[in-house]
Structure 1
Amino acid sequence: MRFVRTRIKPLLLLGSGYNYLRMKITNAKISLKEHNLSSATFNDIYHSSSGALEESLYVFIQGNKLTERWNALHDSDRFNIAEIGFGTGLNFFLTLKTWREQTRKPKRLFYTAFEKYPITKTDLATIYKKWPNLTYENDTFINLYPDHTIGCHRLLIDTDITLDLIFGCANHSIDLIKASAKLRVDAWYLDGFSPNKNPELWSYELFEKLAFHSAPDSTFSTYTAAGAVARNLRAAGFKVKKIDGYGKKRHSLIGILDKTESKTLSSCATPWLNIKTSKVFETKQKEATIIGAGLAGGTVALALARRGWKVTIVEAANQVLHGASGIDQLALRCRLFAKNSSLSLFFLHSYLFSKRYYSLLNNGSAWNETGLLQLGDAKNKRKLFDLEKIIDIYDSRVVQKMSPEIAASLVGLRLQNTALTDNLIYFPEGGWVDSLDLSSNLFSHPNISVSLNHSIDQIIRENKTWHLTSCRKKPLSSPVVVVASSFAAKNFECLKTLPLQEIYGQATKIPTSPKSERLNKVVCGERSVFPENGGHHTISASYFRPDQKTLSPEAMDPKQLNKENISRASSLFCDNGIFQSEDSDALSATRSAPPDFIPIIGLAPNFSQMRANYLAFTLNKKTKFEKSRNQDDYHEGLYLSVGHGSNGAATCPFAGEIIASLIARDPLPVSGETFDELSASRFIIRDLKRQKIRFA
């Protein structure tokens, strides 16, 4: 667990009714009496007491003419639906069922839903018993459903169905979407509580934002026919039509976007972050080459393959998941911060997404949700953090404060008293990933091919195509390239100034003993010790930078490092002789991380050109630029997923989803601010403002 100093800005712009210095969410308070499901907060029903399914079909699916439109758009790549007020998920389930029954339809369905007060998983399970016709859809969803934590939860429902659940105030959550990466919604479901109970969801302010994020000819439907709602929709640019309502309701509203002109961005303060004008690459030739078959490369490949792309992975080593990605057991936990910010949300949602990701991949065969105990003397913790603040802002299903007494009885082995401090952290849903099992299924998608022993010497772009040269094999050409190997990136002329530092580490693999096999949690202290896996334990890891001149040859000797790992792991427990060193194996690898220990994810900057474009920052760091200045800030069709360091098990799957979304022009699963903080351009702009001329 790394706790490093990272400058972060508190995230405060997220809506009234919440303390957004915390990342917790307030769950819905519901009342379920007889056939009526109602909200105690809004004193309103979620849906009709009878005919709820039929009303949802009539108002939303028929109201937006989905089956007819899907049939007409069967050659298109994706259809986007967005819902204001997810509630019980009924509209989503019926849409999902209708989609699966339709034979002619677009290739993928993307569904975005906003919800301020999510219903708890326990309450939903009770509600779903009333909908036996939707059992399959409900079961698929409930296994993945998160009922806590603000922000965007991306759920991979099926190979062709993605659900983004965005928890928080809709009016403010939609502001956080990157303006130059609009949702491009084809159909809106307006299903908030009634306008007189929850007027915020029916305001002109919100409808104007919906229009901005709409695709051409976007439609909407809603159960209400309130005059104020109709007027606000018209003012926002929608044509509105009143139709017969369902059941006892006299009327409801449907409509289509009337305004077709696109709005300009309201601010040009950071044109280097405007991905719309930085030429997000579009191609009908859905082919991509990924450099690196580690965890970063494999997860990007699978995310693209799910979207119908043909992916070629080139790897210099003789196996996939080589090096740090191939350590037998990889810990999965959340990197923690003492305050909410765009970065703390990134690491939190990386952890939550990756946990769902591993549980789905090959039916979760590589995932082991054992729980993870973090001791107070964890290696690389540079200073004590405020545990009370951590517990206050994170949900208890993410992290818990653990008493020494409970911790002592939790792991299956007796812990030393010196390890049982008041600074113990427990990740109840954390655990570890079996990298051997992962390697056998991460690359198995039919759209993925892997070329091993294939090092790339240089990448050059000519005629809208990237050309990859190799001294070992024939050159390759590809419209899209993702660099997912930090070490390869430093060899390419166009990326050689990426600020990546190497960190060497050695893990140790030791056989189990009658005593050690009782260990049932991942325990992280000065070393991390994993439960038994195939007759052995993994102990990880010693860390040092290869350029440290104070290290003696003896200190870098694998046998000596093994002994040190075993000694430090043994010191966590009371019993003697738990771990034996005679048959230990060394698992050495080098990780890479930027100086701020934040991974680099997204478009690859044109370093020299961006430096020239914003050189005025060296004279005045408050210089303002025209947005037209950044047309050549980024290389077309070149993307990065590098520098994940020791957090890679959590951040790589989420990074893969971000990059695939960017390439395929899907909605991004992170806020605009988070996306910007992950960009490699941060180093260029930061150094210019500090008058550090690092990038030539």
Structure 2
Amino acid sequence: MKCLKSANIEWHLPSPFSKDFDDVYYSDDGGEAEKQHVFINSNRLLERIKSLSPYQHLTIAETGFGTGLNFFLTTHLWLSESLPSQCLHFISFEKLPLSRIDMTQVMQQRHADHLLKDAFLAQYPPLQEGYHSLFFANGRIRLTLIFGDVNDTLPELRGLVDIWYLDGFSPTKNPDMWQASLFSQMYRLSHANTHLSTYTASGNVRRGLRDAGFNVQISEGSGRKRDMLIAHGGEGLTQPRSTPSRAIVVGAGLAGCHTARALAERGIHVTLIDQNPDIAQGGSGNPQGALYAKLAMEQTPSSELHLFGLLYSANLVSSLLETQPNLGALCGVLQLATTDKEQERQARLLQANLFSSDILQAVSSDQATEFANTLIDKPGLFFPKAGWVSPVDWCKHLVNHSLINSHFSEQVTDLAFMPNTDAWHIQTNRGDYETEIVILCSASDTQRLTPLKHLPLKAIRGQTSQVPTSGLPDLKTVVCGDGYISPALNQSYCFGATFDLHDLSSEIKIKDHQQNLQTLSSVLPDFATIDPSLCNGRVGYRCSTPDYLPLVGEVGVYDSFVKTYARLRVDSNWKDFETPLMHQGLYVNVGHGSKGLITCPISADVLVAMITGTPAPLPNRLMERLDPNRFILRDLIRNRI
């Protein structure tokens, strides 16, 4: 998770020239026609698109993004030939990404009229190692850019690929990429119907692909290149996993609504159940929430999840704001250094040079005052790609889908697997359901159901405060210190929130308004005149886990896990275990704490990728850290069970 250097480019107009690989990115003479022939036509992409069913996804993976030419050629065809319900997931790896300046010049020269140009530049990621998700055309196209060496990052990809674009600088110019290990990983991620093409007919590449397991053929090349290679999945590869037809999601907050939408976009009929009378009435019910992450110097799972969750959510919001302008604003976030200790921490973070300036920047108190449009006497960090979101409005948008059927004021009272039908039986106060897939997104209430009683979830009370904007400064950015405040929504400011581990009362308390105001005025003195008695507010409950990471994935059978991993009580390093039993089709997406706006969207995508066997927006090593069964193993090692 390091800050990367950009590609070293010279402009030999009209083509960019790579000084790193001593080669052009594409030929002035027929470069686009060559790409069209090698990757679009040779993979029979039009035929593949026409064979897709409604709501079906097509996954294309590419080994070198470069200037994005293959992506823009592919999406041009996709937008003209696919159905509105179908989705293209384009995954591309890049070791040396173009800088924003160079990519802007490429777009202006090569793709000035492309429908995705403006949205692509708005979402183009910072030069930060890892996974970056971009969203286009109302969900019809998703681009996952994975920055880093493909031989390091491809082994972390999980899920099957339908078409491979084996592209990049030639084997003679970039021999480090064209390795047997690359071809083996590509084969691992392929299925029986996977197709592959590449512009080179090199003997080493041909033999490497065959040795990996692909059926390889020499095909007619393009332009000056007489030959190229095409391939398809070899013997022994399985068919793609079938997509379930129906699922039930319990909980209509951020986690549940994002999960329901991700399922529906796969063509899965979703029944969304919530015990409250309307959507987002629990911890997701605040009028506004800050979209930001507090980054750490250490590369921990939580800091990595929060960074890429923030960038994921920000791009997702960016893709919606044109049609949903009241959803939020990417106005930036100021994270103020309210103590000497915090100021020292921020200084060390900046000195470490871990993060791109597109992610965070140091600001003085004067600069912070200018950004916020109100007096600030403390320095801090500014996150230009962050902002605020209305969680309730976001949830309403998410469930507005023809395949989502919402049921409110309905509480799940029992959950049991029925072996005779291989389905889950759900009993509520209003009736019974049967389904093959159940996903619990009901925060700490998840523990009420028998198969999930062991999950270590804790409810933490928080009270936010609201006041009219009259007589107060016109705040222009989100300000975070020990609490947060967002720019006004509907002539009202929302700020807070308290953090109470022991009091679970739902009562609005004046002392909590006073605490929120004291926290606010300590960083924004122009807000010190607010009368606590004029505050409105609400109480919500964050759902937290012991390691502050959410629980995302399939739930194991508790007794089977304890029995299978019992040896961990005496040998924490023991690895030779049998596979424990899982509650087949039972999943959770809970425990997001106060970070739900940046972890719920990406976690929902991860969860649905697990269910459908498709690539996820996070590396496998990080997905494993979200495993909901991890605390059983921890407690065995610590002899707590």
Displacement of 1:257: 3.5
Task: Please give the secondary structure, in 2, of the residue aligned with 1:393.
Answer: coil
C-alpha offsets along residues 563-592 of structure 1, whole Å, 9 cap, x if unaligned?
Answer: 222233223234475423342112111111
Q: Does the CA-based 8 Å contact 1:343-1:674 persist in structure 2?
A: no
Matches within 5 A, 1:198-277: 198-260=174-236
Q: Which amino acid aligns with 1:230?
A: R
Q: Does the CA-based 8 Å contact 1:359-1:367 persist in structure 2?
A: no
Q: Does the CA-based 8 Å contact 2:67-2:98 persist in structure 1?
A: yes
Q: Does the CA-based 8 Å contact 1:354-1:650 persist in structure 2?
A: yes
Q: Which amino acid aligns with 1:465?
A: A
- Distance in 2 separating the partners of 1:436 and 1:238: 49
Which segment drifts farther, 139-148 or 645-654? Answer: 139-148
Task: Structure 1: give runs of 5+ residues left out of the alignment.
Answer: 1-21, 263-279
Q: Does the CA-based 8 Å contact 1:412-1:520 persist in structure 2?
A: yes
- Distance in 2 separating the partners of 1:395 and 1:525: 22
Other-structure match for 1:16? none
Displacement of 1:657: 0.8
TM-score (norm. length: structure 2) = 0.93
Alpha-carbon distance change, 328 to 692 in structure 1, aligned in 2, over 3 angstroms: same
Other-structure match for 1:679? 627
Other-structure match for 2:331? 370
Displacement of 1:611: 1.1
- Distance in 2 separating the partners of 1:39 and 1:75: 41
Q: Does the CA-based 8 Å contact 1:74-1:106 persist in structure 2?
A: no
C-alpha offsets along residues 409-465 of structure 1, whole Å, 9 cap, x if unaligned?
Answer: 3321112x4xx25xx222222211123432432221121121111111121111221
Alpha-carbon distance change, 606 to 651 in structure 1, aligned in 2, over 3 angstroms: same
C-alpha offsets along residues 621-645 of structure 1, whole Å, 9 cap, x if unaligned?
Answer: 222324xx2151x211111111111
Other-structure match for 1:167? 147
Q: Does 1:385 align with 2:345?
A: yes
Other-structure match for 1:361? 320
- Distance in 2 separating the partners of 1:36 and 1:67: 28
Q: Which amino acid aligns with 1:220?
A: L
- Distance in 1 separating the partners of 2:172 and 2:437: 50
Displacement of 1:226: 2.4
Q: Does 1:539 align with 2:495?
A: yes
Which segment drifts farther, 396-405 or 167-176? Answer: 396-405
- Distance in 1 separating the partners of 2:306 and 2:67: 28
* Equivalent residue for 1:465, pick from 420, 423, 427: 423
Displacement of 1:404: 2.9
Matches within 5 A, 1:234-633: 234-260=210-236, 285-361=244-320, 363-365=323-325, 366-377=327-338, 385=345, 387-389=347-349, 392-415=353-376, 417=377, 420=378, 424-462=380-418, 463-471=421-429, 473-514=430-471, 516-546=472-502, 558-575=509-526, 577-626=528-577, 629-632=578-581
- Distance in 1 separating the partners of 2:519 and 2:243: 54
Displacement of 1:557: 6.3
C-alpha offsets along residues 91-127 of structure 1, whole Å, 9 cap, x if unaligned?
Answer: 1111222233336999443322111111123322222
Q: Does 1:635 align with 2:583?
A: yes
Other-structure match for 2:599? 651
Q: Which amino acid aligns with 1:430?
A: A
Alpha-carbon distance change, 202 to 285 in structure 1, aligned in 2, over 3 angstroms: closer
Displacement of 1:64: 1.8
Alpha-carbon distance change, 225 to 403 in structure 1, aligned in 2, over 3 angstroms: same
Which segment drifts farther, 214-223 or 587-596? Answer: 214-223
TM-score (norm. length: structure 1) = 0.86
Q: Which amino acid aligns with 2:549?
A: I
Displacement of 1:208: 1.8
C-alpha offsets along residues 226-272 of structure 1, whole Å, 9 cap, x if unaligned?
Answer: 2322232232223333333211223222233434368xxxxxxxxxx
**When the two structures are aligned, how many residues end up with a matched partner?**
634
Alpha-carbon distance change, 76 to 377 in structure 1, aligned in 2, over 3 angstroms: closer
C-alpha offsets along residues 109-166 of structure 1, whole Å, 9 cap, x if unaligned?
Answer: 3322111111123322222233358511434433332142111222233434332211
Other-structure match for 1:7? none
Alpha-carbon distance change, 51 to 529 in structure 1, aligned in 2, over 3 angstroms: same
- Distance in 2 separating the partners of 1:440 and 1:624: 45
Aligned-CA RMSD value:
2.7
Task: Structure 2: give runs of 5+ residues left out of the alignment.
Answer: none
Displacement of 1:498: 0.8
Other-structure match for 1:152? 131
Other-structure match for 1:99? 78
Displacement of 1:27: 1.5
Q: Does 1:64 align with 2:43?
A: yes
Alpha-carbon distance change, 76 to 405 in structure 1, aligned in 2, over 3 angstroms: closer
Task: Please give the secondary structure, in 2, of the residue aligned with 1:187.
Answer: strand
C-alpha offsets along residues 518-558 of structure 1, whole Å, 9 cap, x if unaligned?
Answer: 2222222233222222111112111111359xxxx9x9861
Q: Which amino acid aligns with 2:35?
A: S
Q: Does the CA-based 8 Å contact 2:190-2:237 persist in structure 1?
A: no
Q: Does the CA-based 8 Å contact 1:317-1:452 persist in structure 2?
A: yes
Alpha-carbon distance change, 341 to 527 in structure 1, aligned in 2, over 3 angstroms: closer
Other-structure match for 1:189? 165
Q: Which amino acid aligns with 1:188?
A: W
Task: Please give the secondary structure, in 2, of the residue aligned with 1:118.
Answer: coil
Q: Which amino acid aligns with 1:207?
A: F
Task: Please give the secondary structure, in 1, of the residue aligned with 2:204.
Answer: helix
Other-structure match for 2:91? 112
Q: Which amino acid aligns with 2:31?
A: A
Task: Please give the secondary structure, in 2, of the residue aligned with 1:155.
Answer: strand
Alpha-carbon distance change, 688 to 38 in structure 1, aligned in 2, over 3 angstroms: same
Task: Please give the secondary structure, in 1, of the residue aligned with 2:115.
Answer: helix
Task: Please give the secondary structure, in 2, of the residue aligned with 1:175.
Answer: helix
- Distance in 2 separating the partners of 1:333 and 1:223: 42
Task: Please give the secondary structure, in 1, of the residue aligned with 2:71.
Answer: helix
C-alpha offsets along residues 254-291 of structure 1, whole Å, 9 cap, x if unaligned?
Answer: 233434368xxxxxxxxxxxxxxxxx9x6654211111
Alpha-carbon distance change, 113 to 543 in structure 1, aligned in 2, over 3 angstroms: same
Q: Does the CA-based 8 Å contact 1:118-1:147 persist in structure 2?
A: no
Displacement of 1:194: 1.2
Task: Please give the secondary structure, in 1, of the residue aligned with 2:389.
Answer: strand
Task: Please give the secondary structure, in 2, of the residue aligned with 1:499.
Answer: coil
Task: Please give the secondary structure, in 1, of the residue aligned with 2:498.
Answer: strand
- Distance in 1 separating the partners of 2:370 and 2:113: 42
Alpha-carbon distance change, 525 to 32 in structure 1, aligned in 2, over 3 angstroms: same
Which segment drifts farther, 46-55 or 251-260? Answer: 251-260
Displacement of 1:43: 0.9
Alpha-carbon distance change, 125 to 261 in structure 1, aligned in 2, over 3 angstroms: closer
Alpha-carbon distance change, 133 to 648 in structure 1, aligned in 2, over 3 angstroms: closer
Q: Does the CA-based 8 Å contact 1:456-1:488 persist in structure 2?
A: no
Which segment drifts farther, 24-33 or 299-308? Answer: 24-33
Other-structure match for 1:268? none
Which segment drifts farther, 128-137 or 331-340? Answer: 128-137
Q: Does the CA-based 8 Å contact 2:76-2:114 persist in structure 1?
A: no
Alpha-carbon distance change, 674 to 37 in structure 1, aligned in 2, over 3 angstroms: same
* Equivalent residue for 2:69, pick from 71, 90, 102: 90
